Amino acid sequence: MYTQYMFNTLAINPAYSCLDESLTFTALARQQWVGFKGAPRTQTISIHTPIKESNTFVGAILVNDQIGEVIRETGGDISIAQRVPVGLSSYLAAGINGGISNYSAAYSEIYAQSPASANDPVFQNESGMRVNVGWGVMLFSDKYYVGLSSPHFFYRDISAIAQPNNKSAYRPHYLFQAGYLLDLNDQMTLKPNLLVKYVNGSPMEFDLNASVLFSKTLWLGASYRSADSFDALAAVYITPDLQLGYSYDFTTTKLAQVQRGTHEISLQFRLPVKGRDHTACYF
């Protein structure tokens, strides 16, 4: 879950790298439900770049996820994407990603004093390596993008792959994303964004955002995440190639009574690639 998904799109669609002509680094840290014991924490670092003057783009992302007091997953994916022109000013891109992660759940750290923990399988420590394969497609121009992806389409414990009778399985999440740039005047640009998330067995969730870019320097925006929160976000271009972003989530569920909101900070840096058009990318 990311509030600044519009600035961290490689994490949700491997085809996104085709939108940017530059070598781009993005770092993001999210602290969810501050003050709530065991609240989720996530950090990501990503990089993507075009390959010389071709229509091939590559990327990589590292993710550290902690949920609860003892559950942690750390891993990374690499991605490759290809784009082809469609019409006069649009492109169709398709990408795949794959990687591996380490999962651990040290339940004994918090249940060591429980008499039941010694024999109850619920409290036994878990650890293992997981493999992941995902995909994504995007249709875009310099004014819009529309994408569909499943970045964790095949996601399994390595040990379970070798056991055909193992019933444990991860249900793939499907993500639909879209954005549009609308120039209001010479100094203001409006960018509405939409992210829809679906997994079989759970309610569909959507994130609706609208942000305004002032003088190509400052983004100010607001979001609504269904059945979860209202969010405020801001991002400033310290230089034309260095962007710092921050967002705050106002939780709308009963969790609002026991936590102090969610903070998310991002930093993005772009470098020119020889033979490519190093203009600003506002997607």
CA distance 189 to 279: 16
pLDDT band per the 50, 70, 90 thresholds, residue 105: confident
As a whole number, the mean pLDDT across the chain is 91
- Residue type for position 102: N
- For strands 41-50 and 56-67, give the pairing: antiparallel
Closest CA to 21 of 45, 44, 55, 61: 55
Q: How far is CA 212 from CA 72, 140, 151, in A?
A: 36, 20, 28
User: Is pLDDT at 92 greater than 70 in this prediction?
Assistant: yes
Average pLDDT for residues 42-69, to the nearest whole number? 95
pLDDT at 1: 87
Give the CATH fold of the 5-271 domain. Porin (2.40.160)
pLDDT at 69: 84
Is residue 275 within 8 A of residue 54, CB to CB? The reply is: no
The residue ranges of every structural domain in the chain are: 5-271
User: Is pLDDT at 27 greater than 70 in this prediction?
Assistant: yes
Q: pLDDT per residue over 240-268, tens digit each?
A: 999 999 999 999 999 888 989 999 999 99
pLDDT at 107: 78
Q: pLDDT per residue over 185-230, tens digit each?
A: 999 999 999 999 999 988 999 999 999 999 999 999 999 999 899 9
pLDDT band per the 50, 70, 90 thresholds, residue 162: low
Average pLDDT for residues 166-172, to the nearest whole number? 71
Residue 162, helix vs strand vs coil: coil
Q: pLDDT per residue over 106-147, tens digit each?
A: 877 776 665 555 566 666 788 889 999 999 999 999 999 999
How many helices, marked H, and strands, marked E, lie in the chain? 2, 15
| Burial bucket for residue 46 (CB in 10 Å: 0-12, 13-18, 19+) | buried
Long-range contacts of 185-193 (CB under 8 A, 24+ apart): 187/214, 187/215, 188/212, 188/213, 188/214, 189/213, 189/216, 189/282, 191/6, 191/219, 191/221, 191/282, 193/5, 193/6
Cβ neighbours around 103 below 10 Å, total: 16
Average pLDDT for residues 7-25, to the nearest whole number? 95
